[in-house]
Structures are given as structure tokens and as C-alpha cells.
Chain A
Amino acid sequence: MERRSCTVEAADITVTFSGVDVLKSVSLELKPGEIHAITGENGAGKSSLAKVIAGVYRPRLGRILLDGEEISFKNPREALRHGIALIHQEPLTLPDLDIAENIFAGHHLVKAGLVDWRSLYARADALLAELGVTLDPHAKVGTLSVAQQQMVELASALSQDAMVWIFDETTAPLTPKEVEELFKVMRALKERGCAIAMVTHHLEELFLISDRITVLRDGEKVAEKATAETNISEIVQLMVGRELSSEKLHAESGSAAAPFLAVHNLSGPGFHDVSLDVRPGEVVCLSGLVGSGRTEFARALFGITRATAGSIQLGGAEVMITSPRAAKQMGIALVPEDRQHDGLLMPQAIAFNATLARLSKLCRSGWLNRKKLEQASMGYAERLRLAYRGQDQPVMELSGGNQQKVVISKWLMTEPKLLILDEPTRGVDVGAKHEVHKLIREQAEQGLAVLMISSDLPEVLALSDRILVMHAGTVVAEIEGKSATQEQVMFAATGQGAA
């Protein structure tokens, strides 16, 4: 069956997660033969918009129209049945099966009720050729690179005659050459009359390929421009034009103390040649785009992965950090990016979580002193202004902001000298965000060295004394916190060179 070109219109889409609107009445039109880029800062809602169109999320308000007809998808499968395909950053593959099966799983070609392998492979060959890639359809997908796996996913969508394609940060894990290959395919799809949406924050890429650009900010659509009529600096202005609602929280004066953490040319999985230092009393921010190597660097600092080259000095002495336990004993604390997976024991109580990292110190004899634990936990709950019902309340019942406070109190309780925070306010509502900021500054004032990873530019500008910008695995710029502007940081983060 050959599908005809079609237009998708998202009208006044509002998406709400746990009470927070991540998209506010956004409209978007994808036309046949046009590549429409959706861009914005991390957390601006661009991915959510893509996922609503592809049937992953259901909007609270608003409608999706396919050629003028209202449709609603229960799941991405139904969207694909209507010809709308979502291409993920990390393809969802069947690693032990071969390419042809990954293309056709769930809709195998059959003849007389039996899987018709011959035409399956022939068709797979044809689809791959159509995409211009040379891959053996018999190869197991688990052995392919991410770029190749994406091509398999593209072929799978192509095999179902998708006419609307949504690329969600698809270029992020690819090398420049692989991106070029992907763009070729996207142009070919455009020629076929497909409507294409492309979610990205890589501005150069967007100018290379798109016809139209929609900029989102804080869940709202701030502009839609024809690519030919705009330029990078205008888009950057639109992206970062967020209001700096939070008051400035910089240090009164620069810290004169000797650095607690000094890293020299550290390399490891996902980052290379990173050098930086953090002084007690100072908030240093690692800024940059998702995938620029910030989280990977933090994980190596905390002993979850091992650095392969370079040195780490803590308090002037060179150290090897081999496990989170070792890192903890050296006075390092990490508030991880993925709160649910790495930060909290969701079904367990607040006191259980908050005292977990400090357990053997609080209970030196090995006996649980519940009263002592609860008191310790309550003390921090008060200091951090945690809103809770009781210390035995499971943390999964708390809001995102309060959950984060539990993680932070867990680490403050260990009395660390260096506090690393990875996206500390992700999924935290605006009011709680500011509280977390104040908290971080308070800790620095008490002599803690703070290294914060954040993609939230206003947060970075409000809080940090120094901003280090990472791009493609290494630090590319250092900017004074007080005088930095959003444009400066964003330019460096997109690899435009320090401004």
C-alpha cells in the first residue's frame, strides 16, 4: 500500500505532568515536503511536543489533526499505523535478531500464513538501499553502531509507509559524518513528500537542514520562522529569552581558599582532557548541552566509572577514586541526575532514605538507633524546609522538589567537602526551585565546594561564581558568573567558540 502525503497539525496542545504544564497551548503544523525543526533549551518542552504527535504522551488539552481530521492515539503503535513514525535517540532494538527482523518485527511479511523470508530479506535489502546504506540484512542488530541501528529503525518506519517522521534528538549520539548520512536520508524523505519534524538543540544542524524553525521556551511557543529568514544569533536570543525571575545568588566576594578539588587533564568514558578546580565556598557550574560529557565526568569523579588518564587532587593530595563508597569517604557527595533510578529508594520511608549514606557513622556500633536516625532526618528536613506528613512516609508520595530535598539531605548528612549536583532542579516546580538554589548557596557559604551541572541557564546565571562550558566531551570556555549572559553560555555550548 502506498500512502499519500499528509499534513499533521497540532492545535493548542497542553501537556501536564504531575501538576506542572510542560507544554502550554502550543500549535504546530507539519507539511509534506518540509523539514520543521523544533528547538529550545533543555526542558523547553520540545521533546514532549514530539512525543505528543507520535502518540507517546496524550495531551491534556488540544487536538491533533491528520489532514484536517481529528485523531487520537493510545500509543505509538497506533500513530505508526496512521503513518506517523518516531525515531528515538537511542533506538529500541531487538539485539539478538537480525536487521531484517528488526525492520519487520510485529508485521512480518507472510505468504500462506508463513513468514516469507525470501521476500523479507529482499524487501529489507530494498529498504536499506532506498535509505542509501549498505548493511547486510542478516547482520545481528546488537553488533551495529548506534547510527546503524537508527538506520534500521528508519527502514522499519519506511516499511510501514510512514509519511510523517519525527526525529527526537536523533543526531545527538552520532559523529559528524554519521549526521551527514542521516541528513541525506532526511532530504530523500523530504523529496518523497514526507512531513518531517526534527527536535534538536544543535543550531548549526538546524540551519543545515531545516526549512522552518519553531522555538519553544518554558513550554510555550515563542516564534516560528522560515529558516532562510533568520540566523543563529536570532534563534539563540529567542531560546534564552527566559525571564531571570530568580534573584541573583552569587558569592559576595571570590573565594581565596586553596582549591579543594583540582582535576588535571582527566579523560574517561564520554569526556576527555577536562581540567578544573573548585574552591571551598564557591559554586562552580558545568554548563553545556545534554551529551556534552558533564554527567559522565561527574560519574567518574564519584567512582562509578573509572577515569582512564589524568589526575584528581582532593585537598592537595592526589587520589584514586574507585567506588562511590571510596568517594564518600573522601568527602565527595553526588546528587545524581536520575533521581528515581540512582537517587532514591522510592517505596522506602523518608528517614530510611535520608540516613542511608550516613548509616554506619550514625550507628557506629552497627545497631540501628531509629530514634537517632529519625532525629537526624528531621533536623535536615527542617533545615531544608521539607514538606512531609511523617518521617515514615514513603518518598514516592512526595513531590519532585521534596524528593530532591531528601536526596540533598542524604548527602549533606555525610558532611561532605565537595558537593556535586547533577541537574538538581530537574522536575522541580518553580517555587521549590528557588528554595533549592538558596540551599545550595547556603551550603557554599558554610565552606562547601559546590560543583553543579545544569542545563537551566537562568539557574546557572543566578547561582554560579564561575561557569565552565563543556562541548563535545571537554571544557571549551570559562566565564565569570556575575557578568555572564545567557547568549555567551549558549554560544559556547553549541560549539560556536567562547564569546
Chain B
Amino acid sequence: MKWRALVPAVLLVIATFIGSRLSPKFLDFHFLLDRSTLVMETGLIALGMTFVMICGEIDLSVASNMVLTGCVTAKLLEKGWGIPAGVAFACLMGTGLGFLNGLLTAKLKLPSFLVTLGTMAAYRGAAQAMMGPDSVKLPKGFVNLDESYVLGIPWPVMIFLVIAVITAIVLHQTVFGRWAFSTGTNESASRYSGIPTDRVKILVFALTGLMCGIGSCMLTSRLGVARYDLANGAELDAITVVAVGGTSIFGGSGTMLGTILSLFLIDIMRSAMGVANMKAEYQLTAIGSLLILSVLAMNLGGKIRLSKRSSAGAT
């Protein structure tokens, strides 16, 4: 099923080409890197969401998780916690909130769509109840991570790339990753094979939560403030990235590479539209259409392959 990652790869090349016709900046690596710092939280979440969707589940609460974690962490930092402690706390808290989603989904056998719809409101609601309309400023040492570089690459991008490689390895090269594919392909048969499917599900939700925790640090560091209404709709962005990257919403198939390519594809599309003076809001239509068209294309591709296969099988 690796061919599904081809769709975003081809589109990425096309988008870069079109972008370069609009502005030579698209051939400037640094311009692209700097721009992409804006979407690295979404990228991190999409990495976790890839696991969740491969398991046949979905997590709508990611943006809310990220915001609640960010707000609580900001408050703690304001109270004088050290930055390392704050970051560690954010990771833990994000993981915990994700874990709760997994627990409700796996143990109560509830559809994750509903569970996370509830926690999506509850997590952001808790952030709002705690913060009100105020914003909390983050301490000096914490902010502007996106403007510092390592090996010529902005820190958030570096962190994303490292985690992307790790998650890709976990998904495709470890026993746990196999279990995730197996659970999403056929939960019953996986259970019959002695795979702890409930634990796998809880873990992928917790992993997504961890990504939200790390993402919350990146987000608040870039913006310098924490507010309850940040990252509105980021869950839909993340799902879009994963779905365009070729991961099926029904579980059992997908690649981390597809997700990564699709993240940069959407980012470059956005940049290109920005360069072409398209307003951010118009871009929504383009992204929405991209989602539907690429899933349609992949459905169609699957059908063609299937019919090829059955005609080959008949002979």
C-alpha cells in the first residue's frame, strides 16, 4: 500500500514547480524552512494522528489538548517554574490527556470520534475557564525558539524532523508499529493472535498526546503568549495532512513518509497561494478541495488496483 504516498509526493513536486514560477523564493531552501516553522506543531500532531488513524481511530481533541497543556504550562512558568521542568510537565500533561482519550475509547469500547469530540470541547473549555480572555506571557528564555537555528535549520523544524524520523521508524520498523497496523486492519483477528489491542490503542492516543505536549511548547514559544483560543481548528488541519498523506481513515494502511510529504505539500501550497496574493481564507477552499480530491483519487486508485488484481487472479 506504499503507492498511496505517491499522491502527495507527486503533488509536492507540482506545487513546488508552480511556486517557483510565481516566485524564485521557492527555490530558496531557507525561505521554505523559515516558512515551515509555522506548521511544525500541526506536523507533530499529524505524526501522532497517523498512528491513531492507522489503528482505525481518530482524535479530534488534539488542538484542545495542545492549548490546555500550553496554558497550564504557561501559568506554571509564570509562577516561576524552570523551563526544563515546564517542558517536561507539558510533555507529561499532553501524554496524560491523550491517555485519557485512549482509555475511554479502548476500555469502554466507545467510538473515538465521540469520545474525542467530548474531550475536544472539555479540554479547550478547561483552558478557557482557567484563562478567561487573558493571555499569559511566556518567559524570555522560552520564547522565539523558531528564530534560533541549529545546523542552519530552525529549531522547531529540527525537532520535527528528528521526531518524524523516530516515529517513522517506530511505525515501520518495530513490533509496536506492526501491532498498530494489525489492530487497524482487523481488531478481532489481532486479538485472536494474542495482540493486546486495547493497550496498542491507548498507547497511540498517549503518543498523540505527547506530540500535543511538545507542540504546545513550540506554539507558545513562537507566539510568546498562551491563550485559550490558539490553534483553533488545528485538529482538522492535522487530519487533512494525514488523509492527504495517504493514510486511510478506516485503518490498517498508511505511511509516515506520506504524512511528512503531505505536511510540506500543504505548507508549500499555502505559501504559493500567499505569494500569489490569495487571502488565507480563500486558501481554505483549496485545502478542503485538496483533501476531498486526494481521497477520491486514492479510492479510485485502490479500485483500479483491485480490478487489475482480480482479473489477474482469474486467469
Contacts and interface: CB of A to CB of B under 8 A. Distances in A.
B25 interface: no
B182 A356 contact: yes
B176 interface: yes
Contacts of B252: 345, 347-348
A70 B175 CA distance: 58
Nearest to A357: B193
Contacts of A342: 188-189, 192
Contact of B178 (A346, A359, A410): A359
A393 B182 CA distance: 16
Interface stretch (A38-46, A100-108, A362-370): A362-370
A216 B192 CA distance: 34
Interface string A334-368: 10100001111111100010001101100100111
Tell me what chain B mostly uses at the interface: helix, strand, loop, or mixed. helix
A291 interface: no
Contacts of B309: 397
Given A345-B182, A356-B182, A397-B309, A325 B195 contact: yes
A344 B177 CA distance: 18
Given A325-B194, A327-B194, A397-B313, A344 B189 contact: yes
A343 B1 CA distance: 21
Contacts of B185: 345-348
B21 interface: no
Contacts of A427: none
Contacts of B176: 366
A24 interface: no
A304 interface: yes
Interface residues of B, number: 26
Contacts of A327: 194
Given A347-B252, A368-B174, A324 B189 contact: no
B183 to A, nearest CB: 10
A368 B177 contact: yes
A327, A343, A356, A357 — which one has the most chain B CB atoms within 10 A of its CB? A356
A36 interface: no
A294 interface: no
A201 interface: no
Nearest to A325: B194
B1, B192, B195 — which one has the most chain A CB atoms within 10 A of its CB? B192
The 10 tightest CB contacts between A and B, nearest first, are: A328-B194, A345-B185, A325-B194, A357-B193, A356-B193, A342-B192, A345-B186, A324-B194, A359-B175, A368-B173
Interface of B: 1, 172-179, 181-182, 185-186, 188-196, 252-253, 309, 313
20 contacts: A302-B192, A304-B191, A324-B191, A324-B194, A325-B196, A336-B192, A344-B186, A344-B189, A345-B189, A345-B190, A346-B186, A347-B1, A348-B182, A356-B182, A356-B193, A359-B175, A366-B175, A367-B175, A368-B177, A397-B313
